[in-house]
Amino acid sequence: MTAHEAPLMLSVSGVRGIVGTTMTPEVAAGYAGAFGSFLKATTGKARPRVAVGLDGRISGPPLASAAIGGLLATGCDVIELGVAMTPSVGVMISHHRADGGLAITASHNPIEWNGIKCLDGDGLAPPPAVAKEIVARFKERRIDWCGPLEIGRVTHDHTSARVHCDRVLAQVDADAIRSRQFVVVLDSVNGSGCEGGRMLLEALGCRVTHLFGEPTGVFGHTPEPLVQNLVELARATGSTPGAACGFAQDPDADRLAIVDETGRFIGEECTLVLAALRILQRTGSGALAANLSTSRMIDDIAARFPGSRVVRTAVGEANVVAGLRSNGGIFGGEGNGGVILPGVCWVRDSLSAMALVLELLAHEGKPLSAIVASLPRYAMIKRKMELASVGGMAAVAPALAKVKAAFRKERLSDVDGVRVDFADGWVHLRASNTEPIVRVIAEAATEARANELCDLCERAAGV
């Protein structure tokens, strides 16, 4: 199956599809109408207020217009944010005390894709039961279109980057960072992080070299912030005199990847660990939350701060946030570079991540490469297989059952797919929420052992 034949993906993470085939203005209006109807039913308000932002993809404006139409026609008032980072939509929901929000984004997916992500009145991704209800309304066309006198109104607020930056600045030791006058290279991939990313770094006294810093929506490289896509950032950071680090945002600016001062990619798993280290240095201890596919490094860091613990959750921002909230967590996120700092918003946020890493650099007074060298290191292997090649979604549950049976003597978690913990590593097999793929992720002391764990798991699953 090629990407162009990919189905419309409806999940806990929202809706995603291929522009022009499965993701059309018709889908956007229907999905937004379902969300508006859901808000009316659950808030009891005749005119819920919904903030709408888009990640700057060239396919965004027609989909955003259609989504806004769907909201207005179900009687919602819309706060139109223009191009906005997904975390900024979360910030603006609380800033305006809105009842929910929509981010028109396909996150790190290539330019062919677009999608819609819902946020609730607390600015967080709805829990699975709520997400399912919105999807059911959309599929069954249970949309409460209203009459002419109930149609909603649009207001415009294009200040989300400023409001968001101010929130982040209030959460970090901005003076300590400013005093260091860091030189930073930023790659915003021509996405929604261009304005806010640069604004934050300049407010923190950094001298910024900005790569792909024009929000044209035509991505400067394959957008997922992985080592193979960040060649220019690595080269620019390594060759910029005095550069402290390089940062890469994904198109909707919820994820951050980092290269050190020598231009070496430190791995997307390190973003969460560095930010967690700074948070724990500051607070002494606390509860953190991370998903089951996230590196053991965060457990090792938490172990350095007695009284701290890491709550492990299913993959997906909503699940991590639920873990944070139910455990009074101070910080959390995902190993893909997604950092959640609750004082800013309940959405993974590249701006929070940048500020915490710079605060760590200011506090440690050492180069980033030296800080990274002091972290525990594991080898992590992340494989993915086309869902169709393993027999489609129907084949996933039997495959998981086979893995559970094969490793019944090991420590197992079936909170999300199946994760098997061995004494010297772990492997996690699950179907993606957002793409028609199956992921196999393993971590161990060496790359050879991590590959071996992936092989063992795939063999047991029969895929």
Residues near Mg ion, by CB under 5 A: 107, 250, 252, 254-255
Nearest CA-CA partner of 354 in 89, 105, 164: 164
Select 248 or 429, whichever has its Cβ closest to Mg ion: 248
- Nearest approach in angstroms of CB 73 to Mg ion is 29
Strand order in the sheet with 256-259: 207-211, 183-187, 243-249, 256-259
Query: Which residues are CB-neighbours of 384 under 8 A, at least 6 positions away?
Result: 432, 437, 438, 439, 440
**CA-CA distance, 215 to 54, in Å (whole number)?**
11
- Nearest approach in angstroms of CB 298 to Mg ion is 20
Determine whether 107 is an active site residue.
yes
Select 69 or 87, whichever has its Cβ closest to Mg ion: 87
**CA-CA distance, 196 to 188, in Å (whole number)?**
10
Which of 59, 88, 94, 107 is catalytic? The answer is: 107
- Nearest approach in angstroms of CB 139 to Mg ion is 25
Nearest CA-CA partner of 301 in 313, 293, 292, 310: 310
- Nearest approach in angstroms of CB 348 to Mg ion is 7
Select 254 or 458, whichever has its Cβ closest to Mg ion: 254
* C-alpha 278, offset from chain centre: 20
**CA-CA distance, 92 to 96, in Å (whole number)?**
6
Which residue's CB atom is positioned nearest to Mg ion?
Answer: 107
- Nearest approach in angstroms of CB 47 to Mg ion is 30
Q: Residue 99: count other Cβ atoms within 10 Å of its Cβ.
A: 21
- Nearest approach in angstroms of CB 86 to Mg ion is 6
Select 37 or 271, whichever has its Cβ closest to Mg ion: 271
Select 255 or 296, whichever has its Cβ closest to Mg ion: 255
Select 103 or 174, whichever has its Cβ closest to Mg ion: 103
- Is the distance from CB of 25 to CB of 75 less than 8 angstroms? no
**CA-CA distance, 263 to 241, in Å (whole number)?**
11
Q: Name the residues annotated as catalytic.
A: 107
